[in-house]
Structure formats: C-alpha cells, structure tokens
Amino acid sequence: MKVLSILILVASVGLAGEQSGTVQSTRLYTPPDPNARGGIRATVRMPKGTIEQAFALPVQDPTKVYRGEVGGDGRSVAVRGLPVGKYDLMLLYEDGFYEGFTLTRGEDLLTERDRELMATVIRRSVLFFDTKEIHRYAGTTGREGKARCVLQELRTNKIITQAAEELVGYQIRSIKLAWLEDVGTIGWQLKNTREIVRQEVAPGMRRGILPHHYRPQLGSIRVTDTEKDLGQMNLLGTDSR
C-alpha cells in the first residue's frame, strides 16, 4: 500500500494559541507551469467567511495539487500557471471546506456493502489518526472495482515532538483524496492517498472534524490558455453526495 502522507514534527513547541512549528503540509505542492497562461479565478459571494486556502487538482491526475492565492478581501481566489485541462477546486474555511472533486468518470455503482468494507479498510490505516470521516465515495463495484473518496482524518490523542515534548491542547487535521481497489479474494484495499492540506489545530482554533460541503460547480472546470473567470459564486445550498 502506497500512502503519500508522512507526519513531520519539529522540536519547537509553541505557546497556547500559537503555531508550534509542526509542518502543516506533508508534500510539496505542484509548482505553477511558467509556460502556462491558464488559470482559474473567482470571488465567493456566499458564504461570507474568509477563505483560508484554495487548491486546484487536475481531473486527469489528482495527485498534482496546485495551491492558489487568496485575495486581500478573503473572498477572491486565483490559481495561475495551470496547463490546459479540467480542474477541480477545493476552498478551505475556518469552519468547513467546499470541494468539487471528480471521483468517477461514470455513474457511481458502489453498493452499501462496498462502502462499509472500504470504511473498515480506511479506519485501519494510518493509525496516527484516531478519528476519521469519509465524506464521499464513488466508483465501480465487483472484482477489480475501483473507487475514490474524500477523506478527513484527525489526531486528538497525545502529540509528541521529535524533542519528546507533548503539544498540549493541539490536534492534527488532514484532508485528502484516497484511491481504493477491489483485489479479489482480499477485498477492498487502500492503494494510495493524496493529502491536500494538513493543519495544526492550536488551542483556540476550531477543533474536530470540519464540516464538508460538496459543490458540483467547483468541479470539472475547463482551463485553456487564458484564465477562467468563474465570477461571483454562491456556494450555499443543499449538500449532496
């Protein structure tokens, strides 16, 4: 099983309510292509909160993650240097995140049994995280079936730095995509994950699993050789799978 996420803790310990120095991203983001003139920009009208981070992932290769820029108003975003293709966006707020990830090209054929078995596999993986929430699944069922899911993981248990010091009152949160495959007699296996963002949750910050919101308008955005302007976006509405 190949899992593309590794926790790195440094020796420094922060004061209450401050960042401790824990590395918050466990894999470098994909650098913008200096020869690509394509990009995505948008302003989120609703919700009214401040966007903390923005990310764009190619539909054809979501192991790549391009990190966007958030404007000074906290509501506009821009992701530049994107090669031609289709992209899914994720917007992170202090009190939740919105995503439009393309989990399958066709119809979702997973059964409830598939979902139960995949949930068991994921909960047994990466034991560092003691709390896990699978927000969405989609894929094909049966032998050699394949699926993806949007996953959030949280460590609420004791966190020890490399200097053997405990980070009292801290949590570590990770939001990622996961790939699973049915390998026959063994059943569903976790084949790969791609972490999109890892957060150190310091005392005073919102704790626990962040609320998740799926918004189709954030998915399959076609980018050519110019910036795609999504205009004023309203992301409020009924959540769906």
Residue 240 tokens read as: 């769906």
CA-CA distance, 98 to 101, in Å (whole number)? Answer: 10
Query: Beta strands 76-82 and 171-182: pairing type?
Result: unpaired
Contact status, residue 145 vs residue 151, Cβ threshold 8 Å: no
pLDDT of residue 231: 96
pLDDT of residue 3: 39
87 lies in some domain: yes
Residue 234: strand pairing partners: 46
According to DSSP, residue 4 is labeled B
Which residue range(s) make up the domain with 178? Answer: 38-234
85 lies in some domain: yes
Distance of CA 140 to the CA centre of its chain: 22
Question: 2-40: per-residue pLDDT in tens?
Answer: 433 333 343 333 333 455 555 545 468 999 999 999 999
Question: 73-126: per-residue pLDDT in tens?
Answer: 999 999 999 999 999 999 999 999 999 999 999 999 999 999 999 999 999 999
Contact status, residue 169 vs residue 18, Cβ threshold 8 Å: no
16 lies in some domain: no
pLDDT of residue 163: 84
6 lies in some domain: no
pLDDT of residue 9: 40
pLDDT of residue 164: 87
239 lies in some domain: no
pLDDT of residue 241: 60
Cα distances from 125 to residues 37, 121, 145, in angstroms, run 40, 7, 20
Identify the H or E element spanning 146.
strand 146-155
Count of structural domains, the chain: 1
pLDDT of residue 28: 81
98 lies in some domain: yes
15 lies in some domain: no
Cα distances from 114 to residues 139, 146, 162, in angstroms, run 10, 10, 39
Question: 181-232: per-residue pLDDT in tens?
Answer: 999 888 999 999 999 999 999 999 999 999 999 999 999 999 999 999 999 9
Q: Is 27 exposed, middle or buried (0-12, 13-18, 19+ CB in 10 A)?
A: middle
pLDDT of residue 182: 95
Confidence band (pLDDT; 50, 70, 90) for 157?
very high
pLDDT of residue 237: 78
239 pLDDT higher than 90: no
Tokens 């896990």 — which residue? 132
